[in-house]
Structure 1
Amino acid sequence: MKKLFVLFLAVSCTTAARAQTRLDSIKIVPIDTVYWKRSAQVGINLNQGSFSSNWKGGGVNSVALGAFFNAKSDYMQRRFNWTSEVALQYGIVKNEGQDSRKNVDRIFLDTKVGHRLSPVWLAFGNINFQSQFATGYRYETLPSGGERNVLISNFLAPGYLTESIGLEYKPTTYFNLQFGLGTIRQTFVIDDAVTVGEPTRYGVAPGKTVRNEFAFQLIANFDRNIAENLNLKARYQLFANYATLNAIDHRLDVSLTAKINKYVNVNLTGIVLYDQDQDNAIQYSQGLAIGFLYAF
């Protein structure tokens, strides 16, 4: 009996030791962090850019120095999804015989909350803000041979704040379609000086600083590595005011980024914009940049 008890005690100790070893090998991850995916990039670029003559952001064909910051976070737990994105860009150019001018200027903030209805459909609510940091000018040559700067944009002149609810189709991680069935957009023009020489105030009535629109909005997003170290990112936005469906706004942003090594990349960007509140013609912007990139 005594030998049986000693054998049972030895087996129990061995089993307990093995169980503790297995527990020690398990990596314990805080519950609040396992659902998060985060990324960010900061960089300084040497830029080449060209603009159409009616580009409302202001600018000049140039070689320039610019800086950018991009960040994105994605939270997913069961049926709940929360995605936020920040894109900030600013660049300046100094040509001989001219004052410093900007050639890129963008503020883009976006956050979206979704509830999954099926494997590919979500109900969502979204808030988006877009504007620029500094003044933008159109540069005109005078008959005397001099130059005149016409102020055409500034921070919150225009600025766009958009709230949208609707349905999202997301069949893959790199592509989604948002149908904003109920969308409200506020267009801000808080600097009256930008109306000098311009036929419109970006749709804001004279004497007012904000315009409200109720509309349908369609957004398509694509973000994928199409080859090793080569990423294609595109965002198309359609905005249709229910009161004026004959004047639909379109905007397409495309970015192609090639990663040379850990810290150097080449970036080709393009924007095509059609908005009759800004201009009756199509606007476009193109830029080529090479520079330092740090991702974390």
Structure 2
Amino acid sequence: MKNLLLISICFCFQFLSAQPDSLYIKAIIPKAERPEWTENNKFSIDFSEVAFVNWNAGGSNSVSALVGFYKEANYKDKYYFWNNNLTMRYGVNSQQGEKIRKTDDLFDLNSNLGYKPDSNSNWFYSIRFNLRTQFSNGYKYPNTDAPISRFMAPGYVFFGGGMEYGKNIDELSFYFSPLTLKATFVLDEDLANAGAFGVKPAVYDEFGILIREGDRIRREAGILITNSYEMQVVENVGLKHQVNLYTDYANNFGNVDVDWSLDFDFKVNSYVRATLGSRLRYDDDIKTQEATEVEGEYEEAGAKIQWMQFLGVGFAVDF
């Protein structure tokens, strides 16, 4: 009875003082079972520059910059974990004789809640949420008159539940969801009417008069499988891998959308580091266009593999 009263008093003091790592909790609860919040923030700037003066082989002066911000706030106790992270990146390139062009643009918000009924198990019941979009207009350069993407055009939302395995869930995770809802937002009238990113296009009559506007949202329900892994390859060299596989039940089941990222982080010191990253995507709903023999006209060419690679050296600050 006295032990129960002591534990109750300690928990009350914990919440009233808003200090989850109080000495009372440390004295009563084993370290592995203590509830705790951890936070991490990182701001980074990467640069690349090429300059030529009387260079007989030719070349164009150029400067590139990539600004990034990453934040995570994670909770963990004996039975639950709740991981949240936000990634924002924006990159531009300025080349001699050309206007500034966008090279990277990402807003990615994730939240993952897991529960295991047995404290000794490595299996969790898990619920996941993801929102991904971009900040500014995207163009098919050099044409900057007609945007091919905008903020929330596209915007992707995933929400679902399933089972997740991970002995150390922050470093290794296998996740399977038999039911994940996917919504594709195209909140731009022109892009929606054109049927961009898989939404239903507008309907016009024989004279080109708009009868019905294109859909702004495409809804899907399907299976999601993910795997993520984080490790230290050698001293000061880190590796992060994540792959997402999604297939829709109703629309061409078995046709898998792929999103795979692989990043190497090379740490020089506490502030200077280099990053080598690769991202591969395939989405059957995102069709490409190819120019026809008629100038200014394009025809649909189907979905293709998308790939992006970047290498940067710059500054990173953790706070």
Whether TM exceeds 0.5 here: the answer is: yes
Opposite residue 44 of structure 1, the aligned amino acid is: I
**Aligned position for 1:121:** 123
Partner of 1:23: none
Q: Contact conserved, 1:47 with 1:287, CA < 8 A, in 2?
A: no
Residue 22 of structure 1 aligns with which residue?
none
Aligned to 2:43: 42
| CA-CA distance at 1:107 after TM superposition | 0.6
Aligned letter for 1:238? L
Evaluate the alpha carbon distance shift between residue 282 and residue 34 of structure 1 in structure 2; reply closer, same or farther with a 3 A threshold: same
Residue 265 of structure 1, aligned match among 249, 268, 273: 273
The size of the alignment, in residue pairs, is 249
Q: Deviations over 1:207-255 (max 9, x none)?
A: 2100110111011111121211111011100011011214210110111
1:180 paired residue number: 177
* Larger gyration radius, structure 1 or structure 2: 1
1:132 counterpart letter in structure 2:
Q
Counterpart among 198, 204, 211 of residue 203 in structure 1: 198
Structure 2 vs 1, CA of residues 205 and 38 (structure 1 numbering), >3 Å: closer, same or farther?
same
Once the two structures are superposed, what CA deviation does each residue of 1:13-60 show, in whole Å capped at 9, x if it has no partner?
Answer: xxxxxxxxxxxxxx9448699512221210111158xxxxxxxxxxxx
Q: Which amino acid aligns with 1:249?
A: D
- The aligned amino acid for 2:244 is Q
CA distance in 2, matches of 1:127, 1:148: 34
Q: How does 1:209-288 map to 2 (within 5 A)?
A: 209-243=216-250, 244-279=252-287, 280-288=303-311
Q: Output the TM-score relative to the length of structure 1.
A: 0.78
Tell me how far 1:170 sits from its aligned partner: 0.8
Mapping of residues 1-296 of structure 1, within 5 Å: 28-29=22-23, 35-47=36-48, 63-118=63-118, 119-139=121-141, 150-173=146-169, 174-194=171-191, 200-206=195-201, 207-243=214-250, 244-279=252-287, 280-296=303-319
- Give yes or no for contact 2:36–2:75 (8 Å, CA) kept in 1: yes
Per-residue deviation, residues 129-164 of structure 1 (Å, max 9, x unmatched): 000101111125xxxxxx565421111000001111
CA–CA distance in structure 2, aligned partners of residues 96 and 156 of structure 1 = 31
Distance in 2 of aligned mates of 1:28 and 1:148: 57
Alpha-carbon separation, structure 2, partners of 1:277 and 1:220: 23
Aligned-residue identity in percent: 27
1:148/1:111 CA distance change after superposition, 3 Å? closer
The TM-score, its normalising length taken from structure 2, stands at 0.73
Which fold has the larger relative contact order, with Cα–Cα distance below 8 Å and residues 6 or more apart in sequence?
1
Offset of 1:195 from its aligned partner?
6.2
Q: Which has the higher strand share?
A: 1
